[in-house]
Structure 1
């Protein structure tokens, strides 16, 4: 019974997608057991929309996405889910990637700016995490957890080529992408920097970071 219901739901979604652009539910492509890639944000909606397609992402981030993703997740840069953002999504799947077109939005509204990540089989992205680092506080110009300084202060503790990075607040352990703050740097190659001047409140929260490294 459950299997038949699942087939009916999928068939309904396919039929709807051939009739008109549909708001894709966040759980249409449920991730299977595996691991998530880093977040990718290659486009913004200033043109025809936000095009985070797999073909373009693979060109700009070679080797970062597995050949056959099993799940996809999209969130706005401020951390909102697709449902919470309220946009009409043109496509969101593990074959094409994620596309929000401005022409599909009501009342001439533009799409939000999204970032995406993909769920891959466990063998693709086995990582070993470093400890958490918190070398700075936002009392000056901001919170500077940049990789070059972290390596200097913690020699031999961070691998030469990190695979991923994670940042959370030090007080509530809220993921950085869910705080709504703007980040000057947030990638595994440079580390994490939140500048007070970039925030509407004028003040960054205090963050700590860790890096995902290849397991020896």
Structure 2
């Protein structure tokens, strides 16, 4: 989860930036803007563990991972975060990659993990932001601002495959990664979900989201 990891589910645009009606994202690469690679799963734990080393991933996927990743995210193939899986992780950083060793686990076997890396946006001048959307409130199980639900509720307003996502609290507009909540996922291709059960207070804050798409794809 985001609070635990600096890890991951982020792609946030600084609040000082132009709003969605003001056009394309400037190319200053603000500190909170991130873009994720695809998920990689090069190993399984049948040997000594699950070795998703960054050097191996680069060798096997030339040109798909930037030189200096900003963040790394790992999850099991069944969809659990590292925290949810509860295993002892040997390495988990943007320099080494991800390694879970079987010898470090009580049952001597790691889960099977996949990983992805985030990098600074490469083509930010071609990116435009959608409107802000706030389709859910945290009064139920949490705040569910999923991409699929938003695309159904606002047909034609969000591109099929967004490049970036930004989530901020309502009404004070604090970036999600600075809000103190544990976030289940925060992904341009999945959307944003904060579950009440993951919070010490028992409730998530209320969030709104917007997506960054190629300008030609924004309605």
Taking structure 2 as the reference length, the TM-score comes to 0.51
Per-residue CA deviation, residues 52-89 of structure 1 (Å, 9 max, x unaligned), is: 83763897xx8xx976857553599xxxxxxxxxxxx9
Cα root mean square deviation, aligned: 4.4
How many angstroms does 1:138 deviate by?
0.7
Q: Which whole-Å deviations, capped at 9, do the CAs of 1:33-60 have from their partners, x for residues lacking one?
A: 44742499989xxx99x9783763897x
Q: Which residue of 1 aligns with 2:208?
A: 208
Question: 1:2-151 maps to which residues of 2 (within 5 A)?
Answer: 33-34=28-29, 36-38=34-36, 53=54, 56=57, 69=66, 72-74=69-71, 117-120=118-121, 122-123=122-123, 126-151=126-151
Give 1 or 2 for the bigger CA radius of gyration: 1
Q: Does 1:173 align with 2:170?
A: no
In the alignment, the residues of structure 2 paired with residue 57 and residue 137 of structure 1 have an alpha-carbon distance, to the nearest angstrom, of 41
**Match of 1:197?**
197
**Any gaps of 5 or more consecutive residues in structure 1?**
1-31, 77-88, 101-114
Q: 1:5-40, CA deviations, whole angstroms, 9 ceiling, x for partnerless residues?
A: xxxxxxxxxxxxxxxxxxxxxxxxxxx944742499
Q: Count residues in correspondence.
A: 154
Cα 1:145/1:124, change in 2 over 3 Å? closer
TM-score relative to the length of structure 1: 0.51
Structure 2 residue runs of 5 or longer lacking an equivalent are: 1-26, 42-47, 74-90, 100-115
